[in-house]
């Protein structure tokens, strides 16, 4: 497969920041309560062995959890609805949503007291949605001249989708899907984190050749590509990165991914694997928020945020200000 390498910095764009990171899920529960795992003690034991203990879930709707998170973001940023120039809403899961998709935006804006405002929806990047949404917000600021863009990622397991994802061939545990919403403001004003570099690609695999070895090779190539590009765009080296954030998936998978991206294992953030399980595209920034709250790293600390959705690969480098 031919890979096309783009210029590292194709155009001059303003550097944006992130402020007011917040998230919401109603509670966490032991993975023992998940019906699929209750019915399969052997699989339950496997998931516990690879680090899963609890999962996050919400009793409220997919829009209500988004609104709760967004209100926290506005409060933490000391901002009001009138200060927001545009909104980006990401979601991967709308099973059971029996109305037109645009209604999700209407419900969120009405609850937040917003009107006459640009709203963009992001969905097909799946668990890499947060990176797609960040890129959209960055471009709104760079091209349209907006100052503050509210970004929301909200997901829930519903309909016919099982929370538990394991290999159909070996039963090897991969991840447990969780419910939750994440929000922040992309801005050029008074940011808490500066976004130094990002890269995202789709590296498709022919379904007719989608054996395990092909997927592994594709993952290695995809993650290495976006990791190096994001570092190059940011102008930093691997050894300068303080902490690396992946999705909250199997610790065995995480050890393999951290190895192929060239970072030492001790820099991998894993605290939320057991605490929340995989909150879709929200994992990276929930992890960043929790790590900084617990460790209070100094200004200038650099972070790598890596995520994947099937054959979507994304990397973001940011710096604490």
Question: Residue by residue, what is the 3-state secondary structure of 220-250?
Answer: HHHHHHHHHHHHHHHCCCHHHEEEEECCCCC
Three-class SS state of 141: helix
- Structural domains of the chain, with CATH: 17-187 (3.40.47.10), 193-320 (3.40.47.10)
Of 231, 264, 292, nearest in space to 18 by CA:
292
Give per-10-residue mean pLDDT for the chain (321 aa).
46 81 97 94 96 95 96 97 96 70 89 96 90 95 94 87 82 93 95 96 83 82 96 97 97 94 96 97 97 98 95 96 96
**What does the block give as tokens for 165?**
């994802």
Would you tell me how many other CB atoms lie within 10 Å of the CB of residue 72?
17
Distance between CA atoms of residues 277 and 287, nearest Å: 11
Distance between CA atoms of residues 74 and 152, nearest Å: 12
**What does the block give as tokens for 283?**
């994992």
Distance between CA atoms of residues 94 and 105, nearest Å: 13
Within 123-232, strands assigned E span 148-155, 164-166, 173-176, 180-187, 193-202
Packing angle, helices 283-295 and 129-144, rounded to 10: 90
Q: What angle do CA 44, 47, 50 make, to 5 degrees?
A: 150
Beta bridge partners, 22, equal 183
Q: What is the per-residue pLDDT for 124?
A: 87
Residues 318, 196 contacting (CB under 8 angstroms): yes
Q: What is the per-residue pLDDT for 1?
A: 39
Distance between CA atoms of residues 314 and 308, nearest Å: 6
What does pTM read for this prediction? 0.92
**What does the block give as tokens for 2?**
């031919």
Of 121, 117, 106, nearest in space to 144 by CA:
117
Residues 300, 192 contacting (CB under 8 angstroms): no
* Alpha helices (H) in 41-128, listed in sequence order: 41-49, 62-77, 103-112
């Amino acid at each position: 497969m031919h890979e096309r390498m783009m210029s590292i910095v194709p155009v001059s764009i303003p550097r944006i920041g992130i402020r007011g990171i917040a998230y919401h899920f109603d509670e966490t529960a032991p993975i023992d309560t998940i019906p699929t795992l209750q019915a399969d003690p052997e699989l339950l034991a496997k998931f516990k062995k690879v680090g899963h203990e609890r999962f996050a879930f919400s009793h409220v709707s997919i829009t209500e959890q988004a609104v709760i998170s967004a209100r926290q973001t506005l409060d933490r940023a000391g901002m009001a609805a009138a200060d927001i120039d545009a909104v980006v809403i990401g979601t991967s899961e709308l099973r059971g949503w029996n109305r037109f998709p645009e209604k999700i935006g209407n419900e969120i804006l009405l609850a937040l007291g917003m009107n006459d405002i640009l709203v963009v929806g992001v969905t097909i990047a799946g668990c890499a949605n947060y990176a797609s949404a960040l890129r959209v917000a960055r471009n709104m600021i760079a091209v349209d001249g907006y100052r503050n863009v509210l970004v929301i990622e909200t997901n829930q397991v519903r309909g016919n989708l099982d929370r538990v994802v394991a290999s159909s061939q070996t039963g090897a545990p991969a991840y447990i899907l969780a419910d939750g919403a994440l929000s922040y403001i992309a801005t050029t004003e008074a940011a808490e984190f500066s976004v130094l570099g990002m890269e995202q690609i789709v590296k498709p695999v022919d379904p007719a050749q989608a054996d395990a070895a092909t997927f592994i090779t594709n993952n290695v190539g995809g993650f290495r590509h976006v990791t190096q590009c994001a570092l190059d765009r940011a102008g930093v080296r691997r050894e300068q990165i303080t902490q690396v954030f992946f999705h909250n998936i199997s610790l065995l998978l995480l050890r393999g991914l951290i190895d192929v991206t060239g970072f030492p294992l001790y820099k991998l953030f894993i605290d939320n694997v057991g605490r929340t399980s995989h909150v879709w595209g929200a994992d990276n920034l929930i992890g960043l928020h929790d790590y900084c709250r617990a460790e209070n790293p100094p200004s200038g600390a650099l972070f790598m945020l890596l995520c994947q959705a099937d054959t979507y690969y994304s990397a973001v480098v940011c710096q604490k200000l």
